[in-house]
């Protein structure tokens, strides 16, 4: 090891030695630093500064107690200059002995003896005869050590060549005082680390208690995904179970339910399928040569979907029981011996996906928290699977929970009550009602669309304005059309004037000569040409007038304007052809319900329609009047279903209703309708949805 301390320029005169006041000031400053919350590197630098200033030396260093040979000190000071410090000669004299090893032995001696040491020039080890201080200066070393703990660091300073023994002893005592003051900082850090370790141990205890408290695999996965985030300090955890060679996502942090059709769920299961075949965890991103192309591609696709910066996929494997080992051995008798031996000890159970959404290191600093979480989760899931594989596990669990032998009479009463309830559910009839969503609307209602592009120039009607048929509601304008009308009108006037002038000149002319007749013929031809021009311009003018008429929005029926805040919505706004502008409805005429019935329930309505010769009755309740029930009749049912982004497929129906009070007739009011589909057993009415789902997803 090559030291950083120069040898020929380290003499410090006694006149430069620190005063008592300065020493006390530096000690007080060091005590304040030790009581504060500063980083270790900064504290070591400040500590060395206090030591050098207090002792009045120029050079010093702090060595870590667990440093390796060849490593530099954790802090060092050379007060001469930075350039001279970096280009200084080695501390050790040129000799046949290993001076590097000598300084290491000196540091080891101070650490083992746990007390300060003044190393005079040329000091040798009594056993190995190794030169411990092969310099021309005296080295003072003091360990920072607590009574019941190993040393944390060693403070080393360089004295001059002409220091007296009394001065060395005094400075060594002062150096020990500085080391003792610095010990408080390391004791505080050690105590904080112990408290943190105890807190993490308690956190692990609570986590394992929740993890192993149930035999339900989904509950185990939910606990691992949500409680495990604080254990490993990651943003999201996904637990995937593998059964019969197929991966299935059980739980994800922060999600109470999972959408199996989600692309993220599919990407996670596909990635786990690719990783679970191996025994080693996969950290992405990693160097390209360390990952198979398929896993790298799937990991990149998942990161794009979830915006994760780093992911870790750790396979779940658990030990097999004796019965499972026998079954595995029998099934894999023809396999490779090495693979068969591996399958006899453990079996793939899925994987855990750890996601980090912030940038950081490409590899985890410590894999122990991840490994512990994976190990306990695999054990808990293995217990769940082992108990689920027991014959009649659910029945045995139920019998055990009810304590069959002690509660036989209660079970008999319960069975009788269940049978009576089933009989009542089958014998008591009630009305089957199909619910849907609906709105209240006037039957006569028209939507007004823009017949051409333009800008809303004037608004003649507001919300609730009563209008008659062909009343002007809006006027649009189009600057290009106005310009074209002006141009055509001007050209038409000019052509008509020229035509009138030619006609007058032809009537007044009396051609006598051949030249006059030739001129008359030319005038006649020009007159015919102007007539064609005038006719064409007139046709253009009529077309432009028709286009101008399309800019006027008129009421198609007599009624009221239903559109809210017309002026704020349309004033001076550009509109396009086909854009909805206004809605006009006749509020004094009949009213209807526009009802959306779910497609999965429309079968009951169609069956009831085929059995009945009259329209099906419909009861409904207005959201504005929830205490009153009204009746109507199902008038018309759509032949096709329409998609709905919220409710799925729906079928539109029209319900004829009686006249409602005027204050309840609000267009678009929410209605809760129920279509009456006949009498059925009450059990079927209550549970027909569950039975239909069982037929679709279990029995099909």
Report pLDDT for 322.
41
Region 104-133: mean pLDDT is: 82
- Residue 495 half-sphere exposure toward CB, CA atoms < 13 A: 19
| 615 and 536 within one domain | no
| 531 and 408 within one domain | no
Quickly count: other Cβ atoms within 10 Å of residue 12's Cβ: 20
Eight-state DSSP code of residue 504: H
Contacts of 499 (CB under 8 A, 6+ apart): 527, 530, 531, 534
| 297 and 165 within one domain | no
In a domain, 407, yes or no: yes
Report pLDDT for 620.
92
Report pLDDT for 511.
66
Region 428-436: mean pLDDT is: 89
pLDDT in tens, 33-48: 888 888 888 888 888 8
Lowest mean pLDDT among 1-10, 520-529, 629-638: 1-10
In a domain, 336, yes or no: no
CA 130 to mean position of chain CA atoms: 63
| 168 and 185 within one domain | yes
| 506 and 608 within one domain | no
**pLDDT at residue 673 is higher than 90:** yes
Tell me the C-alpha distance between 513 and 29, whole Å: 131
**pLDDT at residue 434 is higher than 80:** yes
Instruction: Give me the chain's average pLDDT, please.
Output: 79
Tell me the C-alpha distance between 540 and 551, whole Å: 17
pLDDT in tens, 279-304: 788 888 887 777 888 888 888 888 88
**pLDDT at residue 102 is higher than 80:** no
| 375 and 272 within one domain | yes
Tell me the C-alpha distance between 655 and 271, whole Å: 52
In a domain, 451, yes or no: yes
| 138 and 250 within one domain | no
| 663 and 596 within one domain | yes
In a domain, 206, yes or no: no
pLDDT in tens, 632-664: 999 899 888 888 777 678 899 999 988 888 888
| 167 and 80 within one domain | yes
In a domain, 570, yes or no: yes
Lowest mean pLDDT among 86-95, 295-304, 374-383, 595-604: 86-95
- What are the distances in angstroms from CA 185 to CA 35, 146, 196, 213? 6, 11, 16, 42
Peptide bond into 285 cis (omega under 30): yes
**pTM more than 0.85:** no
| 274 and 183 within one domain | no
Domain residues for 469?
Answer: 445-582
| 225 and 177 within one domain | no
**pLDDT at residue 132 is higher than 60:** yes
Q: Look up the CATH number of the domain holding residue 312.
A: 3.30.450.40
pLDDT in tens, 198-217: 888 888 888 888 888 888 88
Backbone angles phi, psi at 436, to 5 degrees: -160, -165
Lowest mean pLDDT among 152-166, 171-185, 394-408, 561-575: 394-408
pLDDT band at 100 (very low <50, low <70, confident <90, very high): low
pLDDT band at 595 (very low <50, low <70, confident <90, very high): very high
Radius of gyration of the CA atoms of the chain, in A: 47
Which SS3 state, helix, strand or coil, does residue 488 take? helix
Report pLDDT for 3.
40
| 243 and 165 within one domain | no
Q: Look up the CATH number of the domain holding residue 641.
A: 2.40.30.170
In a domain, 439, yes or no: no
**pLDDT at residue 464 is higher than 60:** yes
Residue closest to 266 by CA, chosen among 232, 309, 301, 222: 301
- Residue 571 half-sphere exposure toward CB, CA atoms < 13 A: 8
In a domain, 421, yes or no: yes
As a whole-number percent, the residues of the chain with pLDDT over 90 amount to 7
Tell me the C-alpha distance between 338 and 320, whole Å: 17
Tell me the C-alpha distance between 8 and 596, whole Å: 98
Backbone angles phi, psi at 295, to 5 degrees: -65, -40
In a domain, 598, yes or no: yes
Region 232-246: mean pLDDT is: 83
Tell me the C-alpha distance between 685 and 690, whole Å: 10
Task: Identify the sign of the CA torsion 473, 477, 481, 487.
Answer: positive
Q: Of 143, 163, 192, which one is at a domain's C-terminal end? A: 192
Tell me the C-alpha distance between 517 and 527, whole Å: 15
Q: Of 548, 582, 616, which one is at a domain's C-terminal end? A: 582
pLDDT band at 219 (very low <50, low <70, confident <90, very high): confident
Q: Of 512, 547, 582, which one is at a domain's C-terminal end? A: 582
Residue closest to 598 by CA, chosen among 646, 552, 632: 646
Tell me the C-alpha distance between 518 and 538, whole Å: 30
Quickly count: other Cβ atoms within 10 Å of residue 148's Cβ: 7
Number of domains in the chain: 5
Report pLDDT for 179.
87
């Amino acid at each position: 090891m090559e030291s950083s301390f120069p040898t020929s320029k380290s003499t410090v005169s006694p006149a430069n030695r620190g005063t008592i006041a300065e020493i006390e000031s530096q000690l007080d400053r060091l005590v304040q630093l030790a009581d504060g919350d500063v980083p270790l590197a900064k504290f070591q630098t400040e500590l060395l500064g206090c030591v050098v200033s207090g002792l009045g030396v120029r050079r010093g260093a702090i060595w870590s107690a667990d440093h390796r040979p060849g490593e530099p000190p954790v802090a060092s000071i050379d007060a001469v200059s930075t350039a001279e410090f970096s280009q200084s000669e080695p501390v050790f004299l040129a000799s046949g002995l290993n001076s590097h090893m000598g300084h290491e032995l000196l540091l080891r001696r101070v650490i083992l003896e746990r007390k300060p040491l003044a190393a005079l020039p040329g000091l040798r080890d009594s056993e190995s005869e190794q030169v411990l201080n092969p310099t021309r200066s005296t080295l003072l070393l003091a360990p920072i050590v607590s009574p019941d703990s190993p040393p944390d660091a060693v403070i080393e300073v360089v004295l001059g060549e002409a220091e007296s023994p009394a001065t060395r002893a005094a400075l060594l005592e002062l150096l020990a005082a500085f080391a003792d003051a610095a010990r408080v900082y390391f004791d505080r850090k050690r105590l904080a680390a112990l408290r943190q370790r105890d807190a993490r141990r308690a956190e692990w205890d609570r986590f394992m208690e929740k993890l192993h408290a149930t035999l339900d695999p989904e509950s185990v996965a939910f606990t691992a995904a949500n409680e495990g985030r604080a254990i490993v300090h990651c943003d999201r955890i996904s637990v995937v179970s593998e059964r019969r060679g197929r991966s299935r996502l059980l739980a994800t942090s922060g999600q109470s339910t999972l959408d199996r059709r989600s692309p993220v769920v599919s990407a996670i299961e596909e990635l786990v399928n690719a990783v679970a075949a191996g025994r080693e965890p996969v950290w992405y991103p990693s160097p390209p040569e360390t990952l198979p192309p398929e896993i790298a591609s799937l990991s990149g696709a998942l990161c794009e979907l979830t915006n994760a910066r780093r992911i870790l996929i750790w396979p779940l494997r658990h030990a097999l029981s004796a019965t499972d080992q026998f079954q595995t051995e029998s099934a894999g008798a023809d396999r490779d011996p090495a693979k068969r031996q591996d399958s006899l000890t453990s079996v793939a159970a899925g994987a855990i996906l750890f996601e980090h959404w912030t940038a950081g290191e490409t590899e985890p600093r410590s894999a122990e928290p991840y490994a512990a979480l994976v190990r306990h989760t695999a054990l808990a899931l293995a217990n769940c699977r082992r108990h689920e594989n027991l014959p009649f596990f659910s029945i045995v669990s139920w019998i055990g929970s009810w304590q069959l032998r002690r509660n036989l009479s209660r079970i008999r009463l319960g069975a009788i009550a269940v049978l009576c309830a089933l009989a009542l559910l089958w014998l008591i009839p009630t009305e089957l009602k199909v619910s849907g969503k609906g709105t209240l609307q006037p039957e006569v209602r028209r939507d007004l669309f823009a017949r051409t592009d333009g800008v809303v120039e004037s608004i003649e009607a507001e919300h609730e304005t009563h209008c008659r048929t062909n009343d002007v509601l809006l006027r649009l304008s189009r600057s290009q059309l106005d310009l074209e009308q002006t141009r055509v009108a001007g050209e038409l006037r000019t052509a008509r004037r020229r035509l009138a002038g030619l006609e007058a000149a032809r009537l007044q002319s009396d051609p006598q000569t051949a030249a006059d007749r030739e001129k008359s013929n030319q005038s006649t031809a020009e007159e015919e040409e102007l007539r064609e021009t005038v006719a064409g311009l007139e046709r253009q003018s009529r077309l432009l007038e028709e286009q101008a008429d399309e800019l006027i929005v008129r009421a198609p029926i007599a009624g009221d304007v239903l559109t809210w805040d017309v002026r704020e919505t349309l004033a001076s706004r550009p509109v396009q052809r086909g854009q909805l502008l206004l809605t006009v409805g006749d509020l004094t005429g009949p009213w209807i319900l526009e009802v959306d019935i779910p497609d999965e329930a429309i079968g009951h309505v169609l069956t009831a329609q085929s059995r009945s010769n009259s329209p099906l009755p419909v009861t409904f309740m207005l959201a504005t009047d929830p205490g009153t029930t009204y009746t109507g009749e199902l008038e018309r049912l759509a032949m096709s279903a329409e998609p709905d982004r919220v409710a799925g497929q729906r079928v539109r129906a029209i319900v004829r209703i009686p006249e409602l009070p005027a204050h309840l007739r609000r267009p678009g009011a929410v209605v809760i309708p129920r279509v009456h589909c006949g009498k059925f057993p009450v059990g079927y009415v209550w549970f027909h949805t569950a039975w239909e789902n069982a037929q679709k997803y279990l029995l099909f």
